[in-house]
A and B are shown apart, each in its own frame.
Chain A
Amino acid sequence: MLAYILRRLLHALPILIGVNLITFALFFVVNTPDDMARMQLGIKRVTPEAIARWKAERGYDRPLIWNEKAEGLGKATNTIFFAKSVRMFAGDFGRADDGRDIAREIRMRMGPSLAIALPVFLLGLYASVSFALLLVFFRGTVLDFWGVAACVALMSISSLFYIIGGQFLVSKLWHLVPISGYGEGLDVARFLALPVIISVLAGLGSSARWYRTIFLEEIGKDYVRTARAKGLSELAVLFGHVLRNAMIPILTGVVVVIPLLFMGSLITESFFGIPGLGSYTIDAINAQDFAVVKAMVFIGSMLYIVGLLLTDISYTLVDPRVRFER
């Protein structure tokens, strides 16, 4: 098991290096630091000195990949590529445009992000699996038809509509919860209730429909007929057999997103004013803070790779046939 995890981590390394190279190319080769400086400073204040100062403040005044002037190892390390991209492997993300340390900011904002993403994930999974099981239990009936129709309708509505409509209805008209914001301690629940419910609802349609297809695929198999033939009730078949066997395809889609929960949800966080990583990213995008966006891209891919690894491990837990010694 441990050997397998180590091997998988080694496989992940080239992917991380690839991501690193892509972000480097995107941020520093497509546009030179000069272009970025010109964009940030605006058209009026562009003088060669201003650009030079902007670059020096952020450490962009080095050569891209190879520093001819430096001594020894410095030829490779005293460059933009090493300072801004390679050092991300060591958890050094540099500073944002407002001078704050990005790594510290990320550690601080992880909590609020998780506080909203975790309940959404668990409740959403619970709601959509139960809804899908319900539809499968009533398969072929009118209830099934209208249930699927409701799913299609739910997934056709823009997520912005859920948020804007929910805020308008619940917060402005009914005054049940605050429109946006974030608090300390138990007070948090008041702020989180609405975004959690809205996010669960927004994701319900597509995932319930997806789980329903998975369950229907399982239910046509021979072992289900055998289970029924030996006299099990339909509920016992559904929960004891179909649900357990459908775990593999469900896990494939679900486990991968668990690490990404740290990243938060961009839209929800920014609409509800939750000081998590999602709103941090959006603010950075709006302020065109390249360093922050670059850091988030790198962290996001790292978490995704962790998610892939977790998916593989979770297979062994639900399916004893899957073994890692190969």
Chain B
Amino acid sequence: MSLPFLPVLLWTDALLFALLAAAVAAGFYVRRREYLMLAWRRVAGDGLGMAAATVLALFLVVGLLDSLHYRSRLEGAGTVWSVEVESALDALAEPLRRQVEKTYSAPLADRLFSKETLERPDGSQVRDYPRLKWGAAHLSDPEAGLAGDVARRMVKGEAVGLVLWLLIVAAVTRTVARRESISPGEAWRRIRRRETPWAWRSVLLTLGVMLFLAAPLAALSGHYHVFGTDKVGQDVFFLTLKSIRTALVIGTLTTLIMLPFAAALGILAGYLGGWVDDVIQYVYTTLNSIPGVLLIAAAVLMMQVVIDNHPQWFATAAERADARLLALCFILGITSWTGLCRLLRGEALKLRELEFIQAARAFGVSPGGIMLRHILPNVMHIVLISLVMDFSGLVLAEAVLSYVGIGVDPNTVSFGTMINAARMELAREPAVWWSLAAAFSFMLALVLSANLFADSVRDAFDPRLRART
């Protein structure tokens, strides 16, 4: 059997899916333990937190679709694979990726942004804005028909979106009715009044808003450049979708990579004390005393030298960009693990003196066993909180670092590279604003929902905070 494509597993893909698998496994583990479910129920009951989680979930779907990579077979070439690594998202948004214009064009435009010398049918030449190759190309007379066509498509898209939303509402109502053994009508009433244990109303409302926004985008994007095109004519909407994966990778993998070190060192320092504590404290104070951006800059510069001097390590450009992305995660991790390590050390220091640890020690449990079985599970909430709290900061940091030139590979699509490419164009007359607007608004949606979700998780898991309010 031969597949029409060759699956490619980039390092970041593997780690993302490993993280997903770990999350699913943790979900099953937590389900069977009532005391762990308690905190998650609190998250599920928090309206704002669940709304944010819904938005995050949609981002996650896009990011994961963009992480299924493959190389397609070249036409009539047997087992020769294209050097271009594509993703499932590329395949789904094939027209968006293929419909490349010459240069800038405004959102929903039918003509290019800059004038060119055009040849009329009668042979004379004229300076004018040429028609786009793809955007609104199906209209014979855009001046007259563009607004109507856009409106028609939008209405059609909204109608589909509405039907989709109603279907989801019906499915959720049915599930709630089943679970609580009540009639669907009663379930709907409870959801509407927010009397369900899970904050279904917020989830459904958020989904409704997202569908309301996304449906016209989807309906229009086949025939128009909804967010315009960038300097080399690529569809900005497509670039924004591609950026999501980079942001997710940086936001999650950075913490994930350094997690084992931070947890192990923090617990060791706190529980064992003595010279181990001194050494570990010395290490993180030293690392901490180097200003983060400078350490990142120095490390990225060095990493670039390594990558440039070893081109033979990477089969495709995508693999090299991926290696750089992963290395950036490592470097960001090295500068950010110290905070978590210090928190865990403090917590382990406190736990060490508690009765149940004393009892375990009296029963002769080895230090390793105590740290693994008794201390680690009791500091997991701190790990979880810092994982979600760090996410938004890292996404923002990526944009800044890419601007400074020490971020992701220039070929990797990310919010940072998009902003960097477009920032000078506001000075043009008229200004080219759409790339920036698209990147900033998607980034805001992602970071804002991550912040809100993180707050919700922290409130649910931090016992200290709960005692106070």
Contact = CB atoms under 8 A, between A and B. Distances in A.
Interface of A: 14-15, 18-19, 22-23, 26-27, 30-31, 35-36, 38-39, 152-153, 155-161, 164, 167-168, 172, 216-217, 220, 260, 263, 266-267, 270, 281-282, 285-286, 288, 290, 293-294, 296-297, 300-301, 304-305, 308
B298 A293 contact: yes
Interface in B277-304: 282-283, 285-291, 293-295, 297-299, 301-302, 304
A323 B301 CA distance: 44
B399 interface: yes
Contact of A286 (B294, B392, B405): B405
Nearest to B420: A160
Given A26-B299, A39-B305, A160 B403 contact: yes
18 contacts: A15-B289, A30-B302, A30-B306, A35-B309, A39-B309, A152-B455, A156-B451, A157-B440, A157-B447, A158-B419, A159-B400, A160-B399, A160-B423, A270-B404, A285-B297, A294-B298, A297-B298, A301-B290
B448 A153 contact: yes
Nearest to A15: B286
Interface string B377-396: 00000000000000010001
The 3 closest A-B CB pairs, nearest first, are: A18-B286, A300-B291, A156-B448
B392 A300 contact: no
Nearest to B283: A18
Interface residues of B, number: 46
B286 A164 contact: no
Contacts of A38: 309
A267 B400 CA distance: 8
A79 B7 CA distance: 50
B317 interface: no
Nearest to A213: B465
Nearest to A163: B423
Interface of B: 282-283, 285-291, 293-295, 297-299, 301-302, 304-306, 308-309, 392, 396, 399-400, 403-406, 415, 419, 423, 426-427, 431, 436, 440, 443-444, 447-448, 451-452, 455, 468
B289 A305 contact: yes
A267 to B, nearest CB: 6
B439 to A, nearest CB: 9
Contacts of A39: 304-305, 308-309
B298 A27 contact: yes
A305 B405 CA distance: 28
Contact of B291 (A27, A153, A263): A263
Contacts of A217: 468
Contacts of A22: 286-287, 290
Contact of A293 (B301, B306, B447): B301
